[in-house]
Chains A and B, each alone.
Chain A
Amino acid sequence: MQRHPNQLRGSLIWIATAALALLVINVMIARDMLDSYIAGVLNIAGINIILATSLNLINGVTGQLSIGHAGFMAVGAYTAALLSIHYDTPFALNLIAAFVTAAIAGFIIGLPTLRLRGDYLAIATLGFGEIIRVIIQNLRITRGARGLVGIAWVDSFFYTEIIAILTVLIIWRLVNSAPGRAMVAIREDEIAAETVGINTTFYKVMAFVIGSAFAGAAGAVYAHKQTFISPNDFTFLKSIDVLVMVVLGGLGSITGGIVSAVSLTLLPEFLRFIDEWRMVIYPLLLVVVMLFRPQGLLGTKEVDFRAARESIRNLALRLSRRRAELDESGGAVDVTLGESTAANTLQVVVEQETSCRGKDGESSSKPLLQTNGLSIYFGGLKAVSDLNLSVPEGALHGLIGPNGAGKTTVFNMITGLHPPSEGEIYFKGRRIDGQPPHAITDTGIARTFQNIRLFKDLTVLDNVKIAFHLTAGYGLGSALVQLRPFHEKERWIESEALRLLRMFNLHDRSMELAKNLPYGEQRRLEIARALATNPSLLLLDEPAAGMNPQETANLMDLIRRIRDEFGLTILLIEHDMSLVMQLCERITVLDYGVTIFEGTPEEVRTNPRVIEAYLGEEAV
């Protein structure tokens, strides 16, 4: 098992360790050093590990609350059982069949239900889980409530451990790759995930199908271990048991789920000596754990050697930085002007930033973005009416107007979050209205949000890495096999992400959680994330909000630079007139959804209608 430890990279040492432990147990069982009771309990622990890990992918990693996991386990168990009884097929084949049928069941159920969110999704999955059980209970082939007997017995502990290891290995690899990052992004903020180019429906269904498939595998092992199964083995309570394991271990923490799956299997056994009190003490313990560790045993963290090494390195870094800070104490003025140095560092890095950018528009004579008679209704209200916007390539175009004029709604229409009620949007000469947001991002449009939609609980670096989703260029297969090209791609993403962060003077913060950054830096990070999708049109929604005049001036430099270096066209909404007037070449003024004026900053500044509706007398 540990013949090639260097192939199993750092994070996989755990799995090797677990395998070794299981091997020892195996040998002990073979030599009759463990009685069959203990072996049986350990076997169930293994099955629970498979169930908890697979549910964790759906609930913890992707954030889709599903409470019908036992239903998929049932599908797998009955598939294997029926094959075994009627065709006497070997275990391995039954296992694969169980895996596939559960995956198909997951797909059929996941596709419609994953449109729902939160509690609604939970209720729907609960319902489907029960439906599966009721169907089994009423079919003749499954012999209803009497259950199936005569399933071939296999030395299931051996298989359980192999499948548990495979499950953990596969899901671990998945989570630590581009598809996994996409799933985490969906958990953190679905709308932001869409706008960085992630097909959220696809990845939600993918997580659901993979999770269901492994539940089916767990079912197959269970069936061959028990040799007898009945619908009562797969009730709602079983789903809840698994859910408790995942929540207790920490939603999203695979190792946490394993720890709690094992302990929650063993605990009731250890408590046997107190007889009927067992069922009082056990839930009481759960309540106590949840009170003191509401985020679960491990939160979203993993027990991971690589991470441990990383955190030791970070600690050392922090210590040395603090020492450096002490050395230059007294120079507080330097530190406050840190933001202005951002712009300076930018220049250096930007010069290298030319490769891999070839997505620009085909013809420069045509406008890059054009809208014809764009309108949208909310209920009876016409939020934007008849907008005709034409933005040539390379332009810096401003969109201003009173609050509630419909500016952000225009952005939402262009990026596909709100399909327009009337009119057309052309980008690079192709019509894009009606397409889903992730497809529009793929054509080369990126945006930021007025109220900042970062993936708050992820690190600064991960925020940017997620946005490399479209350019990552590898799929599920590559993520699971993890050969050389995979590692090369991952290294490339990481170095590109760090390079972007350096441009925005955020590289020192790369390991911090996005929510811990001050407001202005969060805004910069959001722009960096948008650039990671490799856009040719960037939509900035109030980039200077929450910045003081000095910071705004720096931001202006930054915007100009990224436009030049990335060959961007920029459309921006802003209320800070000093920024808009200095930066934009043309400005469109909206009021109550209607374009009241379009022209150069000078024309806008002196237009009486604009002054009346928006600028006020003093700003002139």
Chain B
Amino acid sequence: MLKITDLHVHYGGIHALKGINLTVEEGQIVALIGANGAGKSTTLNTICGLVRASSGKVEFLGKDITNAPSHEIVRMGLCQVPEGRKVFAEMTVMENLLMGAYSRRDRDAIKADCETVFELFPRLRERQRQLAGTLSGGEQQMLAIGRGLMSKPRLLLLDEPSMGLAPLLVKEIFDIVKAVNQRGTTILLVEQNANMALSIADYAYVLETGNTVLHGPARQLADNEEVKAAYLGG
């Protein structure tokens, strides 16, 4: 579904990605783990066109989308839920969700999808009319995921969905990610909480200073001694 070949990215003088190769199959949850500064967020940002690749190729559904404008990529069915939530603070929950459906014109289906989001996140239904900026961190994260789903993506990129969430909520968010996946959305997940990420993912890649150094079925990586030592906290 998504295929990245030999992707390089530079920020000024910094060589952030040094030849990433990565494949996401339809229906999977793929996790991307690695230390801070390894290039995880950069990879996601390059996929969805926010950062320009200096060389390499990103293909989505067989089409070359390298350096295409972000709004066109979203229209093709690829949506990112950014790190740090980035909800529209001065808009209500409902307005945020509708913004997520900005590129769509099918009014009835949008309504139905809103309903689906509220089923996944009952808490958002209670707070439809509240300004997003007044939500707590966990609720904002839910809203950000919900907004992402409103574009009806075939592939959803999640950047650290569990960041800053209470332990109870972390579990809840991962359950939701799984539920979203079971409803047919493919997921590429970046996570610091590698334990959790590997427990729900089908396949995983380990990034180190801009390179993919390891990849394999998630279960297998979770048992890998090196990975355990470096990312799972022993």
Chain A residues close to B by CB (< 8 Å): 318, 332-333, 335-337, 339, 378, 400-405, 450-451, 516-521, 542, 545-553, 575, 577-578, 614-616, 618-619
**In whole angstroms, what is the CA distance A393 to B166 when docked?**
28
Give the contacting residue for B163; candidates A333, A545, A615, A618; CB below 8 A. A545
* CB pair B166 A401 closer than 8 Å: yes
A residues in contact with B14, CB < 8 Å? 516
* CB pair A548 B84 closer than 8 Å: no
* CB pair A332 B84 closer than 8 Å: no
Beyond the given A336-B35, A546-B83, A547-B192, please list 7 additional residue pairs across the A-B interface where CB-CB is below 8 A. Answer: A332-B209, A378-B134, A545-B164, A548-B233, A549-B195, A550-B35, A575-B166
* CB pair A550 B231 closer than 8 Å: yes
Give the contacting residue for B168; candidates A402, A404, A547, A551; CB below 8 A. A402
Give the contacting residue for A403; candidates B33, B84, B166; CB below 8 A. B166
Give the contacting residue for A339; candidates B13, B35, B137, B208; CB below 8 A. B35
Of chain A, the residue at the smallest CB distance from B36 is A520
Give the contacting residue for A548; candidates B41, B135, B171, B194; CB below 8 A. B194
A residues in contact with B134, CB < 8 Å? 378
B175-234 CB contacts (< 8 Å) to partner A: 192-195, 208-209, 211, 213, 229-234
Of chain A, the residue at the smallest CB distance from B13 is A318
Whole-angstrom distance from the CB of B88 to the nearest CB of chain A?
15
Give the contacting residue for B192; candidates A336, A516, A546, A618; CB below 8 A. A546
Report B148-178 CB contacts with A as 1/0, cut-off 8 Å.
0000000000001001111111110000000
A403-B136, A518-B36, A546-B192 given; A335·B209 CB < 8 A: yes
The verdict on B38 contacting chain A, using a C-beta distance below 8 Å, is: yes
A residues in contact with B102, CB < 8 Å? none
Of chain B, the residue at the smallest CB distance from A548 is B192
* CB pair B208 A403 closer than 8 Å: no
Chain B residues close to A by CB (< 8 Å): 11-14, 33-38, 41, 83-84, 134-139, 160, 163-171, 192-195, 208-209, 211, 213, 229-234
* CB pair B233 A552 closer than 8 Å: yes
A residues in contact with B208, CB < 8 Å? 332-333, 335-336
A339-B36, A516-B11 given; A402·B166 CB < 8 A: yes
Q: Which of A400, A450, A575 has the most CB of B within 10 A?
A: A575
A residues in contact with B11, CB < 8 Å? 516
Of chain B, the residue at the smallest CB distance from A513 is B12
* CB pair A549 B211 closer than 8 Å: no
A401-B166, A575-B166 given; A519·B36 CB < 8 A: yes
Top-7 shortest CB links A-B:
A404-B136, A549-B233, A520-B36, A518-B37, A403-B138, A403-B136, A616-B168
Whole-angstrom distance from the CB of B162 to the nearest CB of chain A?
9
Q: Which of A339, A402, A615, A619 has the most CB of B within 10 A?
A: A402
B residues in contact with A575, CB < 8 Å? 164-167, 170
A residues in contact with B84, CB < 8 Å? 451
Of chain A, the residue at the smallest CB distance from B42 is A518
Whole-angstrom distance from the CB of A292 to the nearest CB of chain B?
18
* CB pair B169 A402 closer than 8 Å: yes
* CB pair A404 B167 closer than 8 Å: no
**In whole angstroms, what is the CA distance A615 to B166 when docked?**
8
Of chain A, the residue at the smallest CB distance from B35 is A336
B residues in contact with A404, CB < 8 Å? 135-139
A residues in contact with B211, CB < 8 Å? 332
A518-B36, A575-B164, A614-B168 given; A553·B233 CB < 8 A: yes
A residues in contact with B34, CB < 8 Å? 336, 548
Whole-angstrom distance from the CB of B160 to the nearest CB of chain A?
6
B residues in contact with A545, CB < 8 Å? 163-164
* CB pair B171 A616 closer than 8 Å: yes
Whole-angstrom distance from the CB of B5 to the nearest CB of chain A?
21
**In whole angstroms, what is the CA distance A336 to B37 when docked?**
9
**In whole angstroms, what is the CA distance A618 to B34 when docked?**
25
**In whole angstroms, what is the CA distance A405 to B35 when docked?**
30
A residues in contact with B194, CB < 8 Å? 548-549
**In whole angstroms, what is the CA distance A601 to B84 when docked?**
29
* CB pair B233 A332 closer than 8 Å: no
Whole-angstrom distance from the CB of A502 to the nearest CB of chain B?
18
**In whole angstroms, what is the CA distance A36 to B139 when docked?**
70
Of chain A, the residue at the smallest CB distance from B84 is A451
* CB pair A549 B138 closer than 8 Å: no
B residues in contact with A551, CB < 8 Å? 35-36, 192
A residues in contact with B230, CB < 8 Å? 336-337, 550
A residues in contact with B160, CB < 8 Å? 546
* CB pair A403 B36 closer than 8 Å: no
* CB pair A615 B168 closer than 8 Å: yes
**In whole angstroms, what is the CA distance A550 to B11 when docked?**
26
Of chain B, the residue at the smallest CB distance from A401 is B166
Of chain A, the residue at the smallest CB distance from B37 is A518
Whole-angstrom distance from the CB of A71 to the nearest CB of chain B?
32
**In whole angstroms, what is the CA distance A401 to B34 when docked?**
28
Whole-angstrom distance from the CB of B46 to the nearest CB of chain A?
15
* CB pair B136 A547 closer than 8 Å: no
* CB pair A403 B213 closer than 8 Å: no
Of chain A, the residue at the smallest CB distance from B33 is A548
Of chain B, the residue at the smallest CB distance from A379 is B134
* CB pair B165 A578 closer than 8 Å: no
Of chain B, the residue at the smallest CB distance from A336 is B208
A residues in contact with B233, CB < 8 Å? 548-550, 552-553, 578
**In whole angstroms, what is the CA distance A516 to B14 when docked?**
9
A residues in contact with B192, CB < 8 Å? 546-548, 551
Whole-angstrom distance from the CB of A438 to the nearest CB of chain B?
25
A residues in contact with B232, CB < 8 Å? 549
* CB pair B137 A403 closer than 8 Å: yes
Whole-angstrom distance from the CB of B60 to the nearest CB of chain A?
26
* CB pair B35 A548 closer than 8 Å: yes
B residues in contact with A318, CB < 8 Å? 13
* CB pair A336 B38 closer than 8 Å: yes
Q: List 22 A-B contacts (CB under 8 A).
A: A332-B211, A333-B208, A336-B38, A336-B209, A403-B136, A404-B137, A404-B138, A404-B139, A405-B136, A518-B38, A519-B41, A546-B192, A547-B192, A548-B36, A548-B231, A548-B233, A549-B194, A549-B195, A550-B230, A550-B231, A551-B35, A614-B168
* CB pair B166 A520 closer than 8 Å: no
**In whole angstroms, what is the CA distance A337 to B38 when docked?**
11
Give the contacting residue for B138; candidates A402, A542, A577; CB below 8 A. A402
Of chain B, the residue at the smallest CB distance from A315 is B13
**In whole angstroms, what is the CA distance A451 to B84 when docked?**
7
A residues in contact with B171, CB < 8 Å? 616, 618
A403-B138, A552-B233 given; A577·B35 CB < 8 A: no
**In whole angstroms, what is the CA distance A95 to B169 when docked?**
66
**In whole angstroms, what is the CA distance A403 to B11 when docked?**
35
A332-B211, A521-B37 given; A542·B164 CB < 8 A: yes
